[in-house]
Amino acid sequence: MIRAYVYRNIDENDGKLMVVENSIEEFKSVIATQFKLPLESITLFSPNGCEINDIRVIRDNEKVYLNHEKVEDGTSCDIDKESLGKLSISETCEIHGKKGVSDWIMLNVGGKHFTTTRSTILAKEPLSMLARMFAEDNNVYLMNPSMTDSFGAYLIDRSPVYFEPILNYLRHGDVILDKHVNPRGVLEEAIFYGIDSMIPYLNQLIWEAKSSSGNNQALTRMDVVRSIIMTHINSELRFQGVNLAGADLNRLDLRNINFKYACLSRCNLSGANLSHCCLERADLSHANLEGAQLLGVKALCANMEGANLRGSNMEDPAGSRAVMEGVNLKGANLEGSNMAGVNLRVATLKNANLQNCDLRTAVLAGADLECCDLSGSDLHEANLRGANLKDAAFELMLTPLHMSQTIR
């Protein structure tokens, strides 16, 4: 439903709020009834002084001015000069051979001409830069338009290739890009022009293009967050084989995600919740997992060489055990980690820092603990059968080593 404020004169002291009818004739008929005027004498004008001959040019809540003098052929939109002269008119057009405000605008964007209407620019994004440039004089966001070229087109020093999709979006509300138009370029222009409602559509196109590309480009934190948001809580989120190298994923809730074979090398996962994730054969080399939650994680044969797992937690109160069998933790820092019950069978922990770790009931059978520092660790009931303890440090042990080994 479109409403209009109809005023008898420019001073707006005699007006009515009315619903715009299906045709200009019906609208005039209702106006004639409301204002008790002869139908044939009614002429309608927009705030910029142009005569209204089609209701489609009337926007919602627009002001419409009424002239009820006899209109003869050849007269123009400046028929009531005394009243309409009070309106601020800065542009001209030909209406019945006379001058009035034009709704057509020509733009010269980077050397290419575009023709559009004022209503197209104003309707969808009234607060955009373009809308402010061509708003009516009574608009508080009015900006002075730029200089014009020899054809009278307003000059804008931006890319015409990326401007065309923006103009089409203002016309019909859909984001349609040719296959050779980069959505990133259109996004930059949409931000410049202030077409805010277009930005989410362009971000989605960029995401889809990145997902479908075969160049294995590393995903970012925003890509992961967007995937989490778009995935239903009861659906499995899989990042199998995905390249997330170097991504900043700190403090994210990544529970139950499948990272099998994924590249998480040098990722920042500090404080992240990776409980019950599948990290089987994933590459976490030199990743930062300080303070991460790893309850019930499955990291069979994962590569965590040089990773920082300081203060991480692997003990699940519910009883599920972290499975890190065959994992490569060579040179990793696990100081102060809670690793009670963890399965590190035949894992490589050479030169790893395991100081002050809780390794109660942990399975370290066949593990390579050469040159490991286990000082201050709790190995109560830990299984160390067949482990390589060459040059390992056991100072200040909470449990004597001979009491830690159990026969299973």
Q: Where are the beta strands (DSSP E) in 138-225?
A: 154-156
The tens digit of pLDDT for each residue in 63-98 reads: 888 876 644 444 443 434 444 343 333 343 343 333
Question: Residue type at 398?
Answer: L
**DSSP letters for 58-110:** PPTTEEEEEE-SPPPTT--TTSSHHHHTTS-----EEETTEEE--SEEEEEET
- Flag whether pLDDT at 215 surpasses 60: no
- Looking at residue 136, what is its pLDDT? 67
φ, ψ at 171 (rounded to 5°): -80, -45
Looking at residue 94, what is its pLDDT?
A: 40
When the pLDDT of each residue in the chain is averaged and rounded to a whole number, the result is 83
Q: For residue 13, give both structure tokens.
A: 């002291």
Please give the pLDDT value at position 65: 83
Token pair for 359: 């390794």
**Residues constituting the chain:** 408
Between these two residues, 234 and 371, which has the higher pLDDT value?
371
Give the pLDDT confidence of 194-214 residue by residue, as tens digits.
999 999 889 888 887 776 655
Residue with the larger pLDDT of the pair 291 and 218: 291
Residue of higher predicted confidence among 74 and 227: 227
Q: Tell me, what's the pLDDT at 213?
A: 58
pLDDT of residue 270: 96
Q: Please tell me the pTM assigned to this model.
A: 0.48
pLDDT at 86: 39
Indicate the helix (H) or strand (E) that contains 16: strand 15-19
Q: Specify the higher pLDDT residue, 320 or 87.
A: 320
Q: Which residue has the higher pLDDT, 93 or 54?
A: 54
CA pair distance 207, 219, nearest whole angstrom: 10
For range 50-73, the mean pLDDT: 71
Q: Looking at residues 237-246, what average pLDDT do you find?
A: 91
Say which amino acid occupies 254: L
Task: Tell which residue, 208, 168, 164, 170, has the closest CA to residue 185.
Answer: 164
CA atoms within 13 A on the CB side of 356: 7
As beta bridge partners, residue 83 has: none
Quick one: the chain helix, strand, coil %, rounded to 5? 20, 20, 60
Mean pLDDT for 145-159 is: 86
Q: Which domains does the chain have, with CATH numbers?
A: 3-91 (3.10.20.90), 104-205 (3.30.710.10)
CA dihedral 171, 174, 180, 184 (to 10 degrees): 100
**DSSP notation for 373-393:** B-TT-B-TT-B-TT-B-TT-B
Higher pLDDT, 124 or 327: 327
Amino acid (one-letter) located at 7? Y
